[in-house]
Structure 1
Amino acid sequence: MLIAIEQVLSKEEVAQYRTLLEAAEWRDGAATAGSLARHQKQNLQLDDDAEAAVNLGDHLLRRLQSHPLFVSAALPRRIFPPKFNRYEAGGGYGAHVDSAVLRSPRDGVTLRSDLSATLFLSEPEDYDGGELEIEGPFGVQSAKLAAGDLVLYPSSSLHQVAPVTRGVRLASFFWIESLVGDEGERTLLFDLDQAIQGLTPAVGPTDASLLKLTHVYHNLLRRWAHT
């Protein structure tokens, strides 16, 4: 399931991010890739302990913790500290799969990568190429979203970033360990939660049928969640 989440950051926040990122020191992103992926990866990244990466990443995490659509879709248990990358001058990232288990650079805690996320920080008209292409059961889906928008997709998917042939593509990326590790169960919970939220304004929060649906949602979450 690929989910686009609009306006995680406002345009004003995006501008602040870009100012700090333009002044940051970037390094070869291939240095952080695995033995196979590094041959496919041509981009620049911030060091995990760079001041801009830490401050902007913490700000993004605060935004996500209070974003209802993100919480509904991801049911996050742990989130890997956000990273930041830059693609330009033909740089891209060929087809690869994300590591299944990751160790946080801050506290050494390991997490299972259930979901991958990309937050776009450049407007799509400002660069050519740079589409995030994700292989799924129904073919390849492409994402090139407005600055401030985020896309969520299964970490188990093969995916790639098409070469950027004009301009600069700035983004943040990170991984989520969900309370519900099974993608099918997580998708059912998301669909049910979105249906409940959609019905609430029409029928009112005390409607008996709505309360039954909410009861089912929480009992399924109780059954499937692993804390």
Structure 2
Amino acid sequence: MLNVHAFPEAFSPSECDAIIALAREGELKDAGLVKNRSDHNLRRADLGWLDERAGGDWIMERIMHLVAEANRAHFDFALTEFGESPQVARYGAERQGHFTWHSDIGEGALASRRKLTMVVQLSDPRAYRGGALELQPDANIRVSDRTKGSAVLFPSFVLHRVTPVHEGERYSLSTWVHGPAFR
């Protein structure tokens, strides 16, 4: 059975702060959907792409190591590349930041080849209220660990969402691993 794999300490709290600071070095842009569509009823967040920031190579190195280890042990998917930049998302209470139920496989050259999704919790859970990352890999909904620096890796076809943030702000880091189409 395909499952969800958790990394309790993927990044240290100070590394999470460094990732947030790196993302904030440039302008965070309003989040869209696949093919540059936008619908604030579906998704309300601000995004920064780490490939647009200097000094973030260590982040991808860590992610590649974690994904390779977990894929060998838990998924055994045919993976070929990290074709998209890691994305830092800010979900703020002032906009009730959220992302409704969705999967990460979609239209487009890259989105159609997503095999695994990794989401890293960058914020201290006391810094916001709401903003839970919920996953539905089967008939049950699971809430992802909110510990700062924890991460979750799951097949990109798994339904997931971020519930609305009611107080404060939640930061997360997402990235995708690509490969040939599922058979």
User: Which AA in structure 2 matches 1:152?
Assistant: L
Q: C-alpha displacement at 1:34, in angstroms? A: 6.1
| Match of residue 10 from structure 1 | 12
Taking the aligned partners of 1:19 and 1:128, their CA distance within structure 2 comes to 21
Task: Tell whether the 8 Å contact from 1:31 to 1:38 is kept in structure 2 after alignment.
Answer: no
- 1:174 matched to 2:175? The reply is yes
Task: Tell whether the 8 Å contact from 1:74 to 1:178 is kept in structure 2 after alignment.
Answer: no
User: Structure 2 vs 1, CA of residues 35 and 70 (structure 1 numbering), >3 Å: closer, same or farther?
Assistant: same
Q: C-alpha displacement at 1:179, in angstroms? A: 8.2
User: Structure 2 vs 1, CA of residues 157 and 149 (structure 1 numbering), >3 Å: closer, same or farther?
Assistant: same
User: Structure 2 vs 1, CA of residues 74 and 179 (structure 1 numbering), >3 Å: closer, same or farther?
Assistant: farther
Q: TM-score by structure 1 length? A: 0.65
| Match of residue 62 from structure 2 | 63
Question: Hey, which of these two has a bigger chunk of helix by percent?
Answer: 1
Deviates more, 1:14-23 or 1:32-41: 32-41
Task: Tell whether the 8 Å contact from 1:33 to 1:41 is kept in structure 2 after alignment.
Answer: no
Taking the aligned partners of 1:22 and 1:36, their CA distance within structure 2 comes to 22
User: Structure 2 vs 1, CA of residues 160 and 84 (structure 1 numbering), >3 Å: closer, same or farther?
Assistant: same
Task: Tell whether the 8 Å contact from 1:26 to 1:45 is kept in structure 2 after alignment.
Answer: yes
Aligned length: 174
User: Structure 2 vs 1, CA of residues 111 and 98 (structure 1 numbering), >3 Å: closer, same or farther?
Assistant: closer
| Match of residue 97 from structure 2 | 91
| Match of residue 118 from structure 1 | 119
Taking the aligned partners of 2:91 and 2:35, their CA distance within structure 1 comes to 15
Q: C-alpha displacement at 1:81, in angstroms? A: 2.3
Q: CA RMSD in A?
A: 2.9
- 1:140 matched to 2:156? The reply is no
2:86 equivalent among 60, 82, 87: 82
Q: C-alpha displacement at 1:96, in angstroms? A: 1.6
User: Which AA in structure 2 matches 1:18?
Assistant: I
Q: C-alpha displacement at 1:74, in angstroms? A: 5.3
Task: Tell whether the 8 Å contact from 2:120 to 2:151 is kept in structure 1 after alignment.
Answer: yes
Larger Rg: 1
User: Which AA in structure 2 matches 1:7?
Assistant: E
Q: C-alpha displacement at 1:95, in angstroms? A: 1.3
Question: Which secondary structure state, in structure 2, belongs to the residue aligned with residue 46 of structure 1?
Answer: strand
User: Which AA in structure 1 matches 2:175?
Assistant: F
Unpaired segments ≥5 residues, structure 2: none
Identity %: 23
Q: C-alpha displacement at 1:126, in angstroms? A: 1.5
Unpaired segments ≥5 residues, structure 1: 105-109, 183-227
User: Structure 2 vs 1, CA of residues 38 and 32 (structure 1 numbering), >3 Å: closer, same or farther?
Assistant: farther
1:64-92 deviation per Cα after TM superposition (whole angstroms, max 9, x unaligned): 33337435345543223211110012110
Taking the aligned partners of 1:26 and 1:50, their CA distance within structure 2 comes to 11
Alignment of 1:1-227 (within 5 A): 1-30=3-32, 35=37, 39-47=41-49, 50-51=52-53, 55-56=55-56, 58-67=57-66, 69-72=69-72, 73=74, 76-79=79-82, 80-89=84-93, 90-100=96-106, 103=109, 112-177=113-178, 181=182
Deviates more, 1:61-70 or 1:125-134: 61-70
Q: C-alpha displacement at 1:59, in angstroms? A: 2.2
